[in-house]
Amino acid sequence: MSADLSVQLAPGNRRGLRLANPVMTASGTFGYGTEYGQLFDIQKLGAIVCKGATLEPREGNPQPRLVETACGVVNSIGLQNIGVRALIKEKAPVWAKWRVPVIVNIAGETVEEYRRLAVALDGVKGVSALEVNISCPNVKAGGAAFGADPQCASEVTAAVRSASSLPVIVKLTPNTGDIAAVAKAVADAGADAISLVNSFKAMAIDVKTRRPSLGSITGGLSGPAIKPVALAMVYEVAGAVGVPVIGCGGISSAGDALEFIMAGASAVQVGSASFLNPRASLDVLEGLEEFMQAEKVKSLKELIGAARE
């Protein structure tokens, strides 16, 4: 008999958020999912999280927006996206035909904008949950500014919670003094699950031009460089809250995913690894299945938090 990899990420929500397996794509690294359908069977994934959506379309930050660094990449995309109305009209009807649940990442500049995004997406067929992005390092207003402070994080979460019947995941920034305090605040404000971490504020300088490599000077670091730091944060948050935790940060192999799961994550997000290998998320899932078979693990639940006991 094959192992049970399924996981419930919103046990406290009436709709729930049941994933066939714990491997998700991270927001901003997998477009709207539609771009990858030609490359591999995306329906096999646990869930797809789309690029952050704002009320109005955004063109993003000035180029250059991506710079490679040792074992990682610094991005400054600046929330380029088609806007929530086009997402509802053009993308959601496609998602509604998929087996794999799609989670919409939302980003606002004010609490009221988050609330309006939640209202707009409530009841839209094809949208299985919201991921509240209070952690973007590359926008002047909102984003990580909300996620750095427990009180602000709580206000955004409460506003989204009361505006939507969908499961609410809140995505945290590592750029804060006490991530466990922020996690507790959002869980208390009604988050069904918490995902972490978004990218770390970072920069690179081109020594030939003597200028910052990115058009917006600073950006967010992701990739293998951040994995051990992200893992420690996931371990800490999973010990501090009662809601499911979704681990993210430099995951590119099944071994990486297993570390996050054993630290206490119920699911994982594969992010910038998809830039190097578009089917990285499926490779992670297949590796997880192989590990469970080899180790005779019947259910994923046996592994979640195994390193904490």
**Contact footprint for ligand RRO (CB under 6 A):** 28, 52, 75-79, 107, 133, 135-138, 198-199, 220
Query: 28 or 108: whose CB is closer to ligand RRO?
Result: 28
Closest by CA to 31, choosing from 57, 54, 49, 58, is 49
Query: 136 or 254: whose CB is closer to ligand RRO?
Result: 136
Q: How far apart are CA 173 and CA 245, in angstroms?
A: 14
Q: How far apart are CA 273 and CA 279, in angstroms?
A: 9
Query: 136 or 233: whose CB is closer to ligand RRO?
Result: 136
Annotated catalytic residue, options 71, 136, 152, 248? 136
Instruction: Give 54's DSSP letter.
Output: -
Q: How far apart are CA 86 and CA 92, in angstroms?
A: 9
**Residue 78 C-beta: closest distance to ligand RRO, Å:** 5
**Residue 174 C-beta: closest distance to ligand RRO, Å:** 11
Question: Which residues are paired to 74 by β-bridges?
Answer: 67, 221
In this structure, what are the phi and psi dihedrals at residue 61, rounded to the nearest 5 degrees? -80, 165
* Catalytic site includes residue 136: yes
In the block, tokens 């710079």 appear at 67
Peptide bond into 156 cis (omega under 30): no
Query: 132 or 258: whose CB is closer to ligand RRO?
Result: 132
Q: How far apart are CA 108 and CA 91, in angstroms?
A: 20
Q: Which residue in the shown chain puts its C-beta closest to ligand RRO?
A: 220
The length of the chain is 309
Helix (H) or strand (E) holding 227: helix 227-238
**Residue 79 C-beta: closest distance to ligand RRO, Å:** 4
**Residue 211 C-beta: closest distance to ligand RRO, Å:** 19
**Residue 191 C-beta: closest distance to ligand RRO, Å:** 17
Instruction: Give 172's DSSP letter.
Output: P
Query: 55 or 107: whose CB is closer to ligand RRO?
Result: 107
Q: How far apart are CA 10 and CA 23, in angstroms?
A: 16
DSSP E strand stretches across 117-207: 129-133, 168-171, 193-196, 200-202, 205-206
Q: Which residues are catalytic?
A: 136
